[in-house]
Structure formats: C-alpha cells, structure tokens
Amino acid sequence: MTRQIATFHLGETLMGIDILMVKEINRQVNISPIPDAPPQLRGLMNLRGRVVTVIDLNVCLNRSPTGNIDAARLLILKTREDIQDFVADGQLEDMAVGEDIVGFVIDRMDDVATVEEDEILPPPPNVADIGEDLIRGVIKRGNRLIILLDVAAVLEDVMAAGK
C-alpha cells in the first residue's frame, strides 16, 4: 500500500507523519500560555472557534524547549473523529489521538514523500536522540532519513506529563 508522508524539520531531524493525519499547517497566532503547565504544553490557541492545545514537540522528544516560538510553525493534527473515515477504509490504522485538536510546534515543513509500506523500516536501536517508543519506523530517502513519528505515543506521553 502506498502512503503519503508529510515531512517536516525539527532541529537537525527530518520527521514525518501520515498526511492523512494533518489538518493544516499554521503560523502560530496568539497563543495563550497555560500557567503552571508541564513544559510540553506551550499554550492554547483559537482555531476558528475551536481550542487547539499547542504542544512543544522538542520537549516531547527530550530536547530543549523551542526557543523562538514566534518563528515556528504549527502542524495541526486531525482528531480521531476526523480520521474515522480513513480508518474505516483501511487507509490509516486507528490511533488513540483523542477528540481534542493538538498542534505540534515545528521548525518548517518539507516535501510530501510517497512511500510503499515495505519501505518503512523498523526503527534502528538508537536513532539520534529520540526514544524508540515514540517512533513508528524510519524511511530512507537518498541520503536522508525520515523518522516516522508515533503520534498517539507522543500524545500519551504529554497526558502523562506533570504527574
């Protein structure tokens, strides 16, 4: 099965998630910070009347928090309800991504990569600095390596944060 992966830059790393998961890319506007929140939670944003929880992916991946958030982009994800049809059609595996809209803070978008399922390789033992459990797999594109993110696992971590 062919899949389309939206790729984006986060620091030195090229990362990817299935394009069916992406709602839109947004320049961050007017984020209200959440006082006393764990560092993963950068704030809340109004997206056409819906509340988006802005998550600092860098913190989730155990890196230092994104410095200049004003220059960053937001990768806004679909909710579980939004992806339901793709799941029903078998285009996407069901993921516990919840019904709240989240936006990941990223540096910038890159291309959309079309990959075959068998091109997605299991994550090698130590991919850069990222915890293995947060990676679905890796894709080799020429001399570049795309790290396919396990979105549900990342969100799970965020929820557990600040215990």
Partner 1 sequence: MTDFDELLPAFVEESQQHLQVIEPDLLALEKSGENVDPDTVNRIFRGVHSIKGASGFFGFQNIGRLSHVMENSLSLLRDNKIPLTTPLIDALLSGVDALKSMLEDISGSESFDIDSEIAFLKGLIDENAEAPKTVAVYKKPADHQTTGTVPAQFHVPRSEIRRLVEAGQNLYAVKIYLNEDLRKRGRTPYDFINNMETTGEFIDSFLDVESVSGLSDCLENELAFDFLFATDLTPGTIPHALDLPGDRVTVIDLGAVEGKEGKEGTEGQRDRGTEGQRDRGTKAGNEGASEVPGKKEPEGRGRGRGRGHVQAEEKIRVGVNFLNELVNLAGELVLGRNQLLQAALPLVKSTPGLNPVLQHISRVTTEMQEKIMQMRMQPLAIVFDKFQRVVRDLAKKHYKEIRLVASGGDVELDKTIIEGLSDPLTHLVRNAVDHGIESPGDREKAGKPRYGTITLKAFHQGGQVHLTIVDDGRGVDPDFVAGKAVEKGIISREAAAGMSAKDRTRLIFRPGFSTAKEITDLSGRGVGMDVVLTNIEGMGGTADLESAPGQGSTVTLVLPLTLAIVSGLMIESGGQFFILPEVDIDELVRVKPDEIGERIDAVRNAWVLRLRDVLLPLVDLNRLLGLTEPGAGTDLTDRDDPLRIIVVKQGGIRFGLVVDRIVNTEEIVVKPLPRYLKRMACFSGVSILGNGKVSLILDVAGIVKKTAIRRLETIDEEAERAGEQEEGAVAAEVQTLLIFDNDTPERFALPLELISRIEKVSASRIERIKDKQFLQYQGEKLRLVFLEDHLPVTRPERSPDDTIGLIVPKGMAHPMGIVFKEVINTAMAAVELDTASIMAPGLFGAAVIDDRITLLPDMYRLFEMAAPEWYRTEQAPGGVEKKAPRILLAEDTPFFRMVEKDYLASAGYEVLAAENGRQALQILEEEPVDAVILDIVMPKMTGWEVIAAIRSDPRLEKLPVMAVTSLGNEGDLSVVEKGYEAGFDEWELKLNKTRLLEKLAGMLRSAGAKGESS
Nearer to partner 1 (CB atom), residue 11 or residue 98: 98
3-state secondary structure 70-94: HHCEEEEECCHHHHHHHHHCCCCCC
> From the list 24, 85, 100, 132, which residue makes contact with partner 1 (rule: CB under 8 A)?
100
Q: How many CB atoms lie within 10 A of CB 39?
A: 13
Q: Is 32 in the site for partner 1 (CB under 8 A)?
A: yes
Nearer to partner 1 (CB atom), residue 146 or residue 149: 149
Q: Is 102 in the site for partner 1 (CB under 8 A)?
A: yes
Q: Is 34 in the site for partner 1 (CB under 8 A)?
A: yes
Half-sphere exposure of 39 (CA within 13 A, CB side): 11
- CB-count exposure of residue 2 (10 Å: 0-12, 13-18, 19+): exposed
Backbone dihedral angles phi then psi of residue 16, each to the nearest 5 degrees: -145, 150
Q: Within positions 53 to 82, which residues make up the interface with partner 1, using CB under 8 A?
A: 53, 55
Q: Is 49 in the site for partner 1 (CB under 8 A)?
A: yes
> From the list 19, 25, 26, 44, which residue makes contact with partner 1 (rule: CB under 8 A)?
44
Backbone dihedral angles phi then psi of residue 128, each to the nearest 5 degrees: 45, -125
CA 128 to chain centre: 17
Q: Are 10 and 107 in contact (CB under 8 A)?
A: yes
Q: Is 114 in the site for partner 1 (CB under 8 A)?
A: no
Nearer to partner 1 (CB atom), residue 96 or residue 121: 96
Nearer to partner 1 (CB atom), residue 90 or residue 142: 90
Which residues here bind partner 1, judged by CB under 8 A? 30, 32-37, 40-41, 43-46, 49, 51, 53, 55, 98-100, 102, 155, 158-159, 162-163
